Amino acid sequence: MELLNSLNEKQREAASHDKGPILVIAGAGTGKTRVLTHRIAYLIESGRAMPWEILAITFTNKAANEMKERIGQLIDYSIGQMWIGTFHSICVRILRQHIDRIGYDRNFTIYDTDDQKILIRDCIKELDLDPKTYNQNYIKAIISNEKNNGTSPDKYINNNYGIYKNRNIGEIYALYEKKLKVSNALDFDDLIIKTLKLLKTDEEVLKYYQEKFKYILVDEYQDTNHSQYNLIKILGKNSSGENNVFVVGDEDQSIYGWRGADINNILNFEKDFKGAKVVKLEKNYRSTKVILDAANEVIKNNCQRKGKKLYTDFKEGNLIRVLETEDEKDEAITVAALMLKEHREKNIDYSDMAVLYRTNAQSRALEEGLIREGIPYKIVGGVKFYERKEIKDIMAYLNLILNQKDDISFDRIINVPRRKIGQKTISIISEYAINKEISKFEACFDTDEMDLTPSAKKSIDNFVAMLEMLMIKKDVLPLSEFIMEVIETSGLKDMFLQDETVEGRSRVENIDEFLSAAKDFEERYEENTLEDFMAHIALLADIDKTEDSKDAVTLMTVHSAKGLEFDTVFITGLEEGIFPFIHSDEDADLEEERRLFYVAITRAKRMLYLSYARERMRYGNYEMKMKSSFLSEVPKECIEEVEKSYEKPQGFGNKSIPLFRGGIEVEKKKPAGKLKSDFVPGDKVMHKSWGIGTVVQLKDDGNDQIVVIAFENKGLMNLSLKFAPIEKI
């Protein structure tokens, strides 16, 4: 058929498959969407199915719309009656027609994330449980996970009866389900689960949809969870016993195990669908041979895979450049300098460059490096560091401590964390402040003159007392120590630690990174008061907000990068404990991290940079880092090790700038003099705030001399000999 002439041999074999189940293993950049759309067009053009007899399932609405547009360009048939959508949108269509058969009204409400949290909060209150102990985000994650695994509230309670907290979580789960039913509401997970219940309990409805959908196609099959797998399995089998299920996926790109995706769904496809055909798409149309060779060698270290080897007709390409940097600041400066070179010498648009990292917290140093060089950037799949909620909450506390007339900051934190100050109370304070022409914080000193409940008055008085105490401590504690004091005293730290979800852990990482930023500022600048630090951040934020260029570098986590491609890619933070980022010693965790690295590598079309730091600031202290074990899995013949050489290039006068081999220019740190001879390891010193400590080590970072001191109450601290307020005793 002429329709398939533009496909390569393997793509054509998959798209023209006749009947029976088929698994298409589509490697990165091998044209899986092209195969899916041509498959659907082929089924219609060949008369094997009418448009409404095909069910195509994707994971995002964007992918579904793209599929519809492409199919519309391939065939003359109207695509209006086609069932193409996400798992959830397909299930809503089925439930709107038949949910009354399982005891719901057809006009059911779908609760979003915020609705779910409110409902869970109501359940916690009704069961008279402590909301600080039973974090609503954590409870929501557990309920979602148990639902998708098919675990009812009763079963969860029975399984956890001996563990007091878990038993109570089960009671919350049970009450949550009861309240949903009373409200004739479904949450997001219910859309699939209730559809499964409908199909399993109503033979007539099941038979109708099995006969209706002659062919079922599923995209990104490696990302399906238990419920989604069961839905495909039950819908795919028609009355004749045929299983015309066509799934496309890549086990090497299965990176969502943490949110329920089960890689076994794709690994066991031939067992689950007897007589299944397997077609491997291995010809890559994206990357150079060097990049593919590296990706192939890395991923073959995994055991959980079916096996394939990507290849390309493209020339071998540039070697992958591995960059060893001193710390996260040096890494950011290096990345920025290389971007400038790619932009100026290779005419690569900024929009065709991306920086990938494992966790959102890593973006802070990278953002500052790009801002410093005037390189426009955008954050994808996340929020710019200083615009993240948890960071803005901390900054609001700091701003109010500095400026008690700051009503914006007051409004943000008066009830964060929750301290039983309701909207009515806040309105009374606001009205009083307006009438008296004073700030809202100043109004809080006059609670006796307002019509407040005793409980509200007590909460406000406690808030004021806390802020006043912090104002005193501001002038006696070092910057980073004071900020930690604010985070702990305010209750923000406990609030974020109680959220044990992935999002909650990310917030904690961002708080740690904010502390590292403060510590870095404290050590770099002689003027390092809270006022100076907040002005520094405000300047960064101001510059950030002025950037409105379409030609901007993309910053994102590797998870957000899946499905995207760029000419030039920087994978940063390749250190043990960061990438791979392992929570346990299980092999499965390491294999998913390796798949994530594989996804990162295969985003690059022409040029790939891999960077790591010898040390990185975490929790306000420098930690020595080991380079990622993944780097040793990249073939040596694919790598160009980049070392700094401090040659003085022509045209820079007396300014000495280190060069990477290959001519990449990076600002050189000022040459350091000899280490101060009056300090040696073992010396006792006095710090004006931290007391007596012992010198452990002296080191030269090229820009300054650093002394590592063990303080009795602070642990090991890295201090600048230029600025540290220490005296030998």
Catalytic residue ranges: 32-33, 219-220, 253, 603
- Residue 344, classed as helix, strand or coil, is helix
Q: Are 172 and 127 in contact (CB under 8 A)?
A: yes
Return the ∠ at Cα 77 (arms to 76 and 79), rounded to 5°: 125
Who's near 659: CB < 8 A, 6+ residues apart?
644, 645, 646, 647, 649, 665, 666
What is the rounded distance in angstroms from the CA atom of residue 131 to the CA atom of residue 356? Answer: 36
Rounded alpha-carbon distances, angstroms, from residue 695 to 487, 619, 704, 727: 29, 21, 17, 11
Question: Token pair for residue 18?
Answer: 């006749």
Which residues neighbour 35 within 8 Å (Cβ) at sequence distance 6 or greater? 7, 11, 14, 15, 24, 26, 248, 281
Report the alpha-carbon distance of residue 545 to residue 541 in Å, rounded: 6
- The packing angle between helices 188-201 and 226-236, to 10°, is 30
**How far is CA 566 from each of CA 340, 341, 594, rounded to the nearest angstrom?**
16, 16, 20
From residue 401, alpha-carbon distances to 93, 397, 474, 645 in Å are 53, 6, 8, 47
- Tell me how many degrees the CA angle 613-614-615 measures, rounded to the nearest 5: 90
Q: Other CB atoms closer than 10 Å to residue 477's CB: what's the count?
A: 18
Angle at 24 between CA 20 and CA 28, to 5 degrees: 170
What is the rounded distance in angstroms from the CA atom of residue 555 to the CA atom of residue 357? Answer: 8
- Give CA–CA dist 242/641, Å, rounded: 55
Q: From 421, 52, 324, select the one nearest 212 (Cα to Cα).
A: 52
Other Cβ atoms less than 10 A from the Cβ of 587: the count is 11
Q: Quick check: 633 and 598 in contact, CB under 8 A?
A: no
Query: Contact, 550 vs 351, CB < 8 A?
Result: yes
Residue among 38, 35, 44 at smallest CA distance from 76: 44
Instruction: Name residue 706's beta-bridge partners.
Output: 699, 720
Nearest 5°: phi and psi at 83?
A: -95, 90
Phi first, then psi: give them for residue 218, nearest 5 degrees.
-130, 130
Which are the contacts of 652, defined by CB distance < 8 A and separation ≥ 6? none
